[in-house]
Structures are given as structure tokens and as C-alpha cells.
A = this chain, B = another copy of it.
């Protein structure tokens, strides 16, 4: 790890002076290399799959792990897409001329060295590396042990491409030790790693947040709510809820809980249930929800705090917008929440008071995503408030630096 740290600092210094054109050439070279090395990457991936089957990984896990030529082509296309995005570094964000003649420029610059600790899917190895490269950051990647052969092959391919176009290959480094110890060491690399981004399940993220002395961007879990206001269009509500709950159940922006105004629940909940029944979604509600609609099972206090990632949804009945906001701010993970309403005043109050990264009026929570927001790429969705909140694109992989031009000024 010491060698890795030294290499990362040298790569950071190298990246401080590369131009946009140089970076884009390197990204093209990486896309070509991944295509050229597809067969060897696939054969390394087969080893991971075999070990995974022996270890009894679920079908879903194995599918996420699997690479074929189509998926590698998708990765290469994604790399080329990143090359086309504009350079987030070197943007003059502010320019101040002081009465004493000092000129102060606030400029976007790379963060420096970024550490990514992630699980299973090997495409993250390429996706994260090229976003860091485009933003002139050196990256230290530490994937999971299930994907180690695939990750090693992908990293070798990318590093070869970097060397081939005059780049320090250590701009992209992979930690091949997949023990818990290597992750713990990364969390203590203050002075080397400037920012640590965990990507994966709740357990991984919790462990990084609790143990890291390096600044962390928490990505993550989404216990997302949809509030059906008294004035909601019921068809629209049912349609949005069906989409937000069932379009993809395993994602962080899926809806996990409904909050429904008592004045509309008797009409709204049966209509919503009729839609959710199409996919056999289990509905767990409080007493009033159970009374309002047949087939609603009882919800416990615990249900309201649960991100199911499954065909299950909870329902809370409220008597006011105020009660809805309080319930949501108590149980949400501050990811995405929506109000369905025809009342503009209520919409405005909901937008203002709900303390989440993305707050919707009359739309599905499933839109919280870098691509859907038009950011071009995404390295994660931040559920914390410092530095980045919501979908994180290239801009969020930069920091600022003040450049001050003087002619001998003293204080």
C-alpha cells in the first residue's frame, strides 16, 4: 500500500498539468484497448464466475458479475461518451479584483487522489476510472474479491493504454489485495487519498463512513417516499407510484413508502392497489390504510424505516401536509421524495420543507440519476450534504483553488 500511495501522489502531480486534449486521447486509447482486450477480459471474467458459482452466489449476483462482448462494448462506448463531455477542470468560477490591486481567481481543479471502494460489478472499474481521469484525478480502485480477476484484467488494459500515450499508468491503480485490511488501510490514508467514495450495499457504506479518517462522500441508500396529497389526481398518483415502485425494484431511487392524506385515502388507495396488484406488490399499511382498502397488511413501526428493494411498499395515513413532511423527514434517507398534488401552494411547501437531495412534484422518484438529470455521467448519488448532493457528475469530482496575482502586496 505504501508503494501505491507513492505512485498515486506522483500520478496526481503528473495530472496537474495535462491538457484536455491529452486526456481525451487517453480516453480514446482506453476504449480501444478494452475492445482489443475483450477476449482476455472475458476469459478472466469466466474465472470469477466459476468461483462465484462454487461460492453459491445468487443468480442476480452472477448476472451482475458477468461480462460478454456486448457488455464490454457498452463499457467502451461509455468511455467514449466521457471523452466527449466538457472538461470540468480549469473553469474560472469567480474573479475578484480587490482595492489593493490583488486579482483573485477561484478556479475548478482536480480533487487529487480519489479512492473508490466498491462491490461486485466489474464495469465500475472502468466507469469510475475514466470519470476520475477526465477530471484529472488519480484513482485508487478497490473492488470486491468476487470480481478480482475481471477487475485486474480491465485495469491492466486501461493502464496499458495510458502508458501507450505517454501517461503515467499509475493514474489508475487497482488494489489487488481484497482483504478487509486493504479497505481499512485506504480509510486511513490521509495526506494521500483526498476523498473516498464507497459504492455498494448499506454495510459497506456504513463501515466506510464510521471508520474513515479520509473525507468520505456517502452514496446511497434510498428510503424514498411518495406523498399523495388531498388534491392529487388519483390516476396520476397510481401511475407514478406503479412506476416508482416496480420499474426496477433493486435501485436506490425506487419508492419504498407511501404517505396518503386521510381525505383521499378511501378513493386513492384502492386505485393504487389495483395497479400494484399487476406485479403482486405487498402493501403494508397503518390501521387507517387497512380500513381504507381490502388486502392491505398491517405495517409495523419498522416498516416505515425499511428500504425493501423488493415488491413491498408501506403506507402511512396523515391528516395534513405538515404531518406528511414530518413523517418523511423522520424516516427518509434524504434521497428522493415526491408529492402528487394539484395544489401549487402545497407543492411549494413540500419542496421547501422536505430535506432530501431531490424533491419531486408530480413525477416518479426514479428520475434521480445523472443520466436522467442530463449530467452526462454519474459516479454515484450522494445522500449527504457536503460537497455533493444528489447525482454526482464530473463537476463533483473537482474542488477549487484560489489563484492570487499580486505585484508585491503585503498586509
Tell me if A96 and B374 are in contact (CB < 8 A).
yes
Tell me if B400 and A389 are in contact (CB < 8 A).
yes
Contact residues of A between 29 and 65, Cβ < 8 Å to B: none
Query: Does chain B have a CB within 8 A of A144?
Result: no
Give A81 Cβ to nearest chain B Cβ, in Å. 17
Query: Does chain B have a CB within 8 A of A408?
Result: yes
* Nearest B residue to A241, CB-CB: B410
Binary contact readout A183-200 vs B (1 if CB under 8 angstroms, 0 otherwise): 000000010001100000
One of B216, B244, B355, B358 near A404 (C-beta < 8 A): B358
Query: Does chain B have a CB within 8 A of A213?
Result: yes
Tell me if B361 and A17 are in contact (CB < 8 A).
no
Tell me if B215 and A405 are in contact (CB < 8 A).
no
* Nearest B residue to A322, CB-CB: B13
Contact A408 to B239, CB < 8 A, known contacts A16-B353, A389-B401: yes
Interface of A: prevailing SS:
mixed
* Nearest B residue to A385, CB-CB: B399
Q: Which residues of B contact A167 (CB under 8 A)?
A: none
Query: Does chain B have a CB within 8 A of A176?
Result: no
Give A132 Cβ to nearest chain B Cβ, in Å. 14
* Nearest B residue to A351, CB-CB: B403
Contact residues of A between 64 and 109, Cβ < 8 Å to B: 96, 98, 102, 104
So how many copies of this chain end up in the complex? 2
Query: Does chain B have a CB within 8 A of A314?
Result: no
Tell me if A217 and B374 are in contact (CB < 8 A).
no
Q: Which of A20-28, A119-127, A364-372 faces chain B?
A: A364-372
Give A307 Cβ to nearest chain B Cβ, in Å. 15
Binary contact readout A152-171 vs B (1 if CB under 8 angstroms, 0 otherwise): 00000000000000000000
| Size bracket of the A interface | 35 or more
Q: How far is the CA of A356 from the CA of B362 in the complex (A)?
A: 45
Contact A209 to B213, CB < 8 A, known contacts A373-B104, A386-B386, A404-B367: yes
Query: Does chain B have a CB within 8 A of A243?
Result: yes
Give A50 Cβ to nearest chain B Cβ, in Å. 35
One of B374, B386, B408, B411 near A236 (C-beta < 8 A): B408
* Nearest B residue to A14, CB-CB: B353
Query: Does chain B have a CB within 8 A of A360?
Result: yes
Q: Which residues of B contact A210 (CB under 8 A)?
A: 213
- Interface, chain A (partner B; CB < 8 A): 9, 12-13, 16-17, 96, 98, 102, 104, 111-112, 190, 194-195, 209-210, 213, 215-218, 233, 236, 239-240, 242-244, 247, 325-326, 329, 349, 351-353, 355-364, 366-368, 372-374, 384-387, 389-390, 399-411
8 extra interchain contacts, Cβ-Cβ under 8 A, other than A361-B406, A363-B405? A96-B374, A195-B385, A195-B386, A215-B386, A363-B409, A364-B409, A366-B410, A368-B402
